[in-house]
């Protein structure tokens, strides 16, 4: 590797660990050699004799936005008293989906006698994290859009890669996902067809999220099924987080209030519920609210959240199974697992109004 790039071993190490500390020209030359050779750094000399590590990796996004510090209000001895009121809006609350995926992956790995390495990505660039983890594990599961395709393709030359929440067979990766489109289409059809609601708003997620793209497709299909013009629906894009959805809903629910707000995930729906309460609106009497995911928080909200439940834990388990299957059968075309979903009608959007 070092000789291919005409640099020292120490320079290669710096490029892998702290790329910003290396001059751009040198860094580009080393990274080109890495891509050309298909090199993945090994933290445990896995390549020796072709043995496995007994470890699988899981890369999830978002953890690096969690704040490290909170403002002190009072300090007395070894105890801090903290004003924590404003931290209800921090992005950490958006990670409940990932908690369930992680729990499922842990269970499956444990039952198979494997260890699970979870990458949080705190304080490092994405390529450094991926390369570091890939060099320590037998296979890697990663959420769609978390890592650029070219970086995943590079890693997949050495170890199995499974993509969560998107069908990536066309890109050469095994994948595990859920039936987002059918789930959202069924739920939206209940709102429009069964409840007869035509005044709608839609809180979408990030525009580059495969999950959101499929759910938005399902929502538009339901509109078409029931003759509701898509142009009549106000659409806003959030970030799948509760705080941002609360901000968007404060404007969305002011003035001409839509009769229903359909959300692309549960955290966004909980943010809409927060805004509705703050504005004195009753749910579902004044506005119906729905989500998608089925996180526990939706079971304990007031009112309880109607949602499309996806098997988040099973996503994690299926990802580990896919890695193990690919380790045992390295040849063959990419495989995709599509898990079913279920619509859970609760008080925020009941079976009938």
Residues 6+ apart with CB under 8 A from 10: none
Q: Are 2 and 113 in contact (CB under 8 A)?
A: no
Give the tens place of pLDDT for each residue, 214-234: 999 999 999 999 999 999 999
Residue 273, phi then psi, degrees to nearest 5: -60, -40
Give the tens place of pLDDT for each residue, 262-303: 999 999 999 999 999 999 999 999 999 999 999 999 999 999
Residues 130, 133, 135: CA angle, nearest 5 degrees: 105
pLDDT at 10: 78
SS3 208: coil
Q: Are 182 and 341 in contact (CB under 8 A)?
A: yes
SS3 308: strand
Report residue 92's pLDDT band, with 50, 70 and 90 as the boundaries: very low
Residues 282, 301, 90: CA angle, nearest 5 degrees: 105
The span from the CA of 93 to the CA of 267, in Å, is 8
Give the tens place of pLDDT for each residue, 8-38: 877 877 777 677 778 888 888 888 887 777 7
The span from the CA of 21 to the CA of 24, in Å, is 9
Model confidence, pTM: 0.77
Give the tens place of pLDDT for each residue, 117-174: 988 655 455 666 677 788 889 999 998 777 778 888 888 888 999 999 888 787 788 9
Residue 343, phi then psi, degrees to nearest 5: -90, 125
Beta strand 288-290 with 260-263: parallel, antiparallel or unpaired? parallel
The span from the CA of 302 to the CA of 283, in Å, is 9
The span from the CA of 193 to the CA of 187, in Å, is 10
Cis peptide before 284 (omega within 30 of 0): yes
**Residues forming a β-bridge with 262:** 202, 290
């Amino acid at each position: 590797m070092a000789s291919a790039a005409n640099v020292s071993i120490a320079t290669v190490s710096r490029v892998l660990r702290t790329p910003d500390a290396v001059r751009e020209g040198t860094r580009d030359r080393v990274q080109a050699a890495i891509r050309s050779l298909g090199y993945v750094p090994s933290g445990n000399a896995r390549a020796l004799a072709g043995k496995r590590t007994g470890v699988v990796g899981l890369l999830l996004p978002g953890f690096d936005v969690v704040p490290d510090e909170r403002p002190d209000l009072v300090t007395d001895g070894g105890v801090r008293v903290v004003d924590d009121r404003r931290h209800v809006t921090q992005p950490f609350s958006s990670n409940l989906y990932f908690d369930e995926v992680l729990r499922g992956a842990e269970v499956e790995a444990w039952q198979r006698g494997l260890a699970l390495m979870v990458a949080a990505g705190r304080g490092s660039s994405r390529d450094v994290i991926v390369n570091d983890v890939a060099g320590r594990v037998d296979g890697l599961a990663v959420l769609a859009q978390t890592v650029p395709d070219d970086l995943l393709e590079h890693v997949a030359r050495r170890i199995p890669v499974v993509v969560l929440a998107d069908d990536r067979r066309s890109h050469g990766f095994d994948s595990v996902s859920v039936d987002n489109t059918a789930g959202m289409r069924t739920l939206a059809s209940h709102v429009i067809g069964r409840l007869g609601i035509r005044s709608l708003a839609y809180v979408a997620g990030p525009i580059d999220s495969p999950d959101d793209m499929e759910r938005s497709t399902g929502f538009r299909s339901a509109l078409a099924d029931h003759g509701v013009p898509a142009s009549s629906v106000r659409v806003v894009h959030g970030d799948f987080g509760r705080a941002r959805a609360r901000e968007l809903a404060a404007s969305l629910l002011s003035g001409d209030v839509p009769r229903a707000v359909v959300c692309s995930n549960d955290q966004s729906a909980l943010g809409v519920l927060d805004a509705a309460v703050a504005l004195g609106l009753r749910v579902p009497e004044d506005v119906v609210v729905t989500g998608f995911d089925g996180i526990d928080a939706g079971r304990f909200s007031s009112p309880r959240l109607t949602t499309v439940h996806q098997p988040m834990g099973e996503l994690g388990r299926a990802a580990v199974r896919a890695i193990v299957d690919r380790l045992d059968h390295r040849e063959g075309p990419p495989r995709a697992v599509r898990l079913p979903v279920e619509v859970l009608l609760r008080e925020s959007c009941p079976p009938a109004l």
